[in-house]
Every structure is written in structure tokens, then in C-alpha cells.
């Protein structure tokens, strides 16, 4: 087995597609190295998750459409396509676009990380990796995307943010967002008029996902503007405060 893991001597034979078959949170793992795939599955199942493992892209998308998982854990370089393209397709699928995605890959260059982020990844883990950290980051991402216990809808002009359903509507039409886009928009809209630095937003929205940088916030703000603003170049709602960060300006917030 490659020296990519922190428990290379673990016996995985009995763990392969046999454990944790009825748990509430399911993770789809796309990893073409069978040894790594078995070890990842073993540790995720030991942490209490149900896992479906795929060595190639194959039917992962159709399986997800039939029974959506709680999270995707994707390698990039895999047979039958690549994880980046799969991420793009997931983010374009209205039924799957809000499911968090973590990349687990040997591609560690900054450009690769930024590309993964721009496609909608919620975390990016590079090989070699420690399985304890992997499980911790999976837990952190899932915690961030748990739906709130007290549903609340914000409405302003033609924009509606439904935190319970994690849905954005503009002009009455449902607008597809990634989970991170929605969380960032929802956080800003619930604190109208306040200026938040990029570092503050990183902590509030991304939490423990340390692959993100202040540049990440800028990328997401640009993408949100393209979805809610009539003219993304001259935004009315999501304002840049030069040297300070971002502020959400709305004429009036009316709880639904």
C-alpha cells in the first residue's frame, strides 16, 4: 500500500462494502486506488457513516440521483472521467447541487485548489493525508451544512432566502446555488448593514476548512452577485467595502 495513510497495517478485508448499511448519513467515495478506498471506507464507517465506494465514475451520478448522499468525497484523476467534471455536473444538478463536496487528491498545486473551489468544492484535502484528519474534516463539513432547527425565510425586493430548504429564489424562480454559496449569502443577509472582513467570513462560513484563503471569499462573492444582482458589476445588495470586506445592503428585511 502506498505510504499515504496513517494506518497502513489495518486489515480492510471485512470492511469492503459490508458495514454501516443503515445509517442516516451516507458518503459517496470516488477513489480509484482500491487500497486507499478501502481504508477511507473503513475509517468513515468506524466513525458512524454509511459509505458507498466507487473506483470509477461509472454510475455514481445516477446512484446519487436515486438516493442522494449526505456528502461526496472525490478524487480528481479517476477512470471514466475526472472528479472536477463530476463536481461541475453535480453543481449543475438541481437535486444534488446543495450536497457538500470534498476533494481528496494528490493534486496539491494552488491552481488545482482554486479550480476545485471555483467549481464548488467545500473542502480540499491533499495526499498524503492522515485518516483522523480526514474524518474530522468530513464531520466539520457535515456540521456546517446541517439545516437549521428553526426554519426562517428572508425576503427583500425580488430575492427570497429560505434557510430551512436551503433555497434561493430570484423573481420567483429557483436559483441553483452550492451549499457554500448559500451559507455565505444567508450569513450576510441575516446581518444587513454590517461589514465583515474576509477573515471573519472564512471563520463564520468555512469554519475548519483551512484550504480556503481570502481569495476564496472573493470568488464566492462574485458568483453570488451573478445570481442575485441585475448587474453584477454594479451591485446593489452585496457591496465591497474597500480595505474592509463585504456588506449586505437591503432596503427592508421581512421575515416570512
Q: Is 86 a domain residue?
A: yes
In a domain, 77, yes or no: yes
> Residue 234 is part of a domain; what is its CATH number?
1.10.10.10
Q: Are residues 32 and 111 in the same domain?
A: yes
Residue whose C-alpha cell is 480556503: 212
Same domain (yes/no): 113, 17: yes
Instruction: Render pLDDT for 5-47 as a digit per residue (tens, 0 to 9).
Output: 443 333 333 333 434 443 579 999 999 999 999 999 999 999 9
Q: What is the CATH number of the domain that holds 50?
A: 3.40.50.2300
Q: Sorting pLDDT into bands at 50, 70 and 90, what band is 173?
A: very high
Mean pLDDT of the chain: 83
Give the HSE-up count for residue 158: Cα atoms under 13 Å, Cβ half-sphere. Answer: 11
What percentage of the chain has pLDDT greater than the value 70? 85
Q: Is the dihedral of CA 17, 137, 224, 70 positive or negative?
A: positive
**139 plus 20 within the same structural domain:** yes
Inter-axis angle of helices 34-46 and 131-144, nearest 10: 60
Q: Please compute the mean of the pLDDT values over residues 95-122 and round it to a whole number.
A: 88
Count Cα neighbours of 57 within 13 Å in the Cβ-side half-sphere.
16
Cα dihedral sign, 169-226-188-95 = positive
Q: What is the pLDDT of residue 103?
A: 96
In this predicted model, what pLDDT tens digit does every residue of 187-212 receive, in sequence order?
999 888 888 888 888 888 887 655 67
Of the candidates 28, 234, 224, 37, the residue with the CA atom closest to the CA atom of residue 120: 224
The whole domain housing 249 covers 153-255
- The answer to whether the predicted template modeling score (pTM) of the entire model surpasses 0.75 is no
Backbone phi, psi, residue 238, to 5° = -100, 100
Q: What is the dihedral of CA 28, 34, 36, 42, to 10 degrees?
A: 60
Residues comprising the chain, all counted: 256
CB neighbourhood size of 164 (10 A)? 13
Query: What is the count of structural domains for the chain?
Result: 2
**Claim to verify: residue 102 and residue 196 sit in the same structural domain:** no
In 3D space, the residue among 66, 117, 56 whose CA is nearest the CA of residue 88 turns out to be 117
Nearest in space to 5 (alpha carbons), one of 43, 36, 46, 50: 36
CA 66/CA 85 separation, integer angstroms: 20
- 97, 175 contact by CB (below 8 A): no
Per DSSP bridges, beta strands 71-74 and 26-30 are: parallel
Amino acid at each position: 500500500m502506498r505510504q499515504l495513510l496513517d494506518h497502513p497495517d489495518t486489515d480492510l478485508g471485512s470492511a469492503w462494502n459490508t458495514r454501516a448499511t443503515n445509517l442516516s448519513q451516507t458518503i459517496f467515495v470516488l477513489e480509484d486506488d482500491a487500497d486507499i478506498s478501502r481504508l477511507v471506507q473503513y475509517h468513515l464507517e468506524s466513525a458512524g457513516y454509511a459509505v458507498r465506494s466507487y473506483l470509477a465514475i461509472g454510475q455514481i451520478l445516477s446512484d446519487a440521483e436515486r438516493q442522494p448522499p449526505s456528502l461526496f468525497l472525490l478524487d480528481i484523476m479517476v477512470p471514466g472521467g475526472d472528479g472536477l467534471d463530476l463536481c461541475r455536473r453535480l453543481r449543475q444538478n438541481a437535486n444534488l447541487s446543495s450536497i457538500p463536496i470534498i476533494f481528496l487528491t494528490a493534486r496539491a498545486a494552488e491552481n488545482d485548489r482554486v479550480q476545485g473551489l471555483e467549481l464548488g468544492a467545500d473542502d480540499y484535502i491533499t495526499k498524503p493525508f492522515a485518516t483522523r484528519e480526514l474524518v474530522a474534516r468530513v464531520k466539520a463539513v457535515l456540521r456546517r451544512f446541517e439545516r437549521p432547527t428553526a426554519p426562517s425565510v428572508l425576503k427583500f425586493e425580488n430575492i427570497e432566502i429560505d434557510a430551512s430548504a436551503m433555497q434561493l429564489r430570484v423573481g420567483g424562480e429557483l436559483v441553483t446555488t452550492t451549499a457554500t454559496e448559500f451559507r455565505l449569502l444567508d450569513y450576510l443577509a441575516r446581518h444587513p448593514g454590517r461589514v465583515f472582513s474576509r477573515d471573519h467570513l472564512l471563520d463564520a462560513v468555512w469554519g475548519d476548512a483551512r484550504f480556503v484563503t481570502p481569495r476564496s471569499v472573493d470568488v464566492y462573492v462574485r458568483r453570488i452577485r451573478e445570481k442575485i444582482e441585475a448587474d453584477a458589476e454594479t451591485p446593489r445588495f452585496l457591496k465591497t467595502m474597500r480595505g474592509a470586506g463585504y456588506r449586505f445592503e437591503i432596503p427592508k428585511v421581512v421575515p416570512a
